[in-house]
Structure 1
C-alpha cells in the first residue's frame, strides 16, 4: 500500500517488462531486425553485422533465446539462430514501424548504407512476405481487383482464392496463422499483405524467378520476367515494381 492506495497486481506485468527489456538494447535490436530476412544466421555473422565482439554477441543471443524471441540450432561448431516464429517477426516489424523517422539521418549515412536503405525501401522480405514499395504495389493491385479486402481487416475474397490457385500459388494451411493479415510497413507506413497468403506469394515469387535477392540481405528486386508476369496477372506497371 502506498499513500493509502492498494496496488492491484497483474501477473502479466513482470513478463511484459522483461519482454520490453529484451528490445531495450541496440545490439539486440540490430540482431532482431537482421533476422527479419527469415533465415538462420550464425553467431559470427550476426556479430560482424552488429559490429560487436563474438563474446558480447553470444551474451545477447543467450538473453534473446531465453526470452523466447529466438530459436537456435547447432551444427558442428556453428551456432545458428533465427526468429522463434512468425509471431515474433510480426512483433519486431510492428515495433519498427512505430519508430519515427530521424530528421537529417540520411545525410549522415555513408553512400553504401544509403544505397542499401534505398534498396530495402524499394523491395525486401519481411520475415517470409514481401514489403517495401513492392509489397505495397502487390497489395494495392490485389485489392483494386477485388482479390483482397481491407475494409474489415485483410481477407482474400473467393475470386482471390481462385487467383492464387490459377497462378499456381499453394495456400497450404498455416496452423493458427491467418490466411491473410495486414502488416504495417515501416518504410511506407501502410499495411502490406502478410499471413499464409503473403508468405506463399513471396515464396512463389522467389522460386519462380519473379523476384531475386540482392546480395545476402533482405533487399529484393523484381526481374524482367517478374515485371512481365506481374503486369499480366495484376496489371502492375513496371515502374511501380522497381
Structure 2
C-alpha cells in the first residue's frame, strides 16, 4: 500500500538519512584557492574517466556504524546493499530512488526531478565533484601534499576542505581525503547545518567492471508498505 507523507517527516528516515544527504547534499558560490582547485580538477577528471565502479562503504555517525556494498554507474545509477543494518537497500535506477528498510517492512520511494536525472550528484561522482567546484570554496587541509589518513596511519592521502557559503540543508563543510596515487576519494567527512559529523569511508574500489543496468533495478517485497515522495514533491 502506498501513501504520501510530508517530506522528511518520518522518523524512520533517520536510519538512512546520512546516505540520502550524501546523494542530495551538493547544490548551493564562490571562487576557490587556485592551487587546491587545480588539484581538485585532477580528481574531477579522474572520476570523469570512470564509467562505473564498485566499492565497500562504511558510514559513521556518532556511535552508529553502517556498512554497505556500493555499485555506481555514470551518470545516474546507484545501488547500496547494506550488511549493517542487514537487508537495507538503496537503489536509484535513473528515474526513481527507493529505500527498503526491512526492520519496518517499509519502502521509501522518490521520483527524481527531471533536472536530477542527467547526473546523480553523489559526492563521489563526477557530477557531484562538479557541483562542489561550483558552490564551495576549496582549500588544502591543512597543507598541500600527502599526510596520513589518520594519526599514525601509513596510508597517505591529500586532504581538501570545501566550505559552503549558504544556509541550505545538507553539508556546510566537506573534508575530503583523496588517495595520493589513484586520485580517488578515500574518505568524506561531512559537517551538516546542525553540526552533525558523518564520515563515509570507501575502500576496495573496482573500476569499470561493466555493471549491467539490471543491477540497479529493485523491487521491494510486496508485503511491505510504501511511503512516496518522502523528500520532495517531484513536480515542485
Q: TM-score, structure 2 length as denominator?
A: 0.22
- Return the structure number with greater helix share: 1
Of structures 1 and 2, the one scoring higher in RCO (CA 8 A, sep 6+) is 2
Point out the structure with max Rg over C-alpha.
Answer: 1
